[in-house]
Amino acid sequence: PKAGCIGLMTLKGDVDIETFVEKMIEFGSVMVLPGHLFPSVDSGCTRNSFRFGFGRHNFEEAMEVFSRCVRRYKNEGGSCRLT
């Protein structure tokens, strides 16, 4: 296949998903997209969601960078927990 796996992850709490997405890009060039851009049967499930692509070649490295970005986001006052 020419594409990798993707997932729709949801953050707990009252999260400004647009800010979360912007900070992931700013902090580590991690590109995630707001879930509301993708149609869903349950429109409520995309409010605090983001789409994340699981790279095939450097998955472990990508997850380490993503984890660092989330920790920095939280350390700078952002509120989030994955469901």
Q: What is the pTM of this model?
A: 0.77
**Residue 83 in this model has a pLDDT that exceeds 60:** no
Per-residue pLDDT at 2:
67
pLDDT in tens, 18-62: 999 999 999 988 888 898 888 765 666 667 888 887 766 787 888
Q: In 10 A of CB 67, how many CB atoms?
A: 12
Backbone angles phi, psi at 45, to 5 degrees: -75, -15
Residue 1: what pLDDT?
53
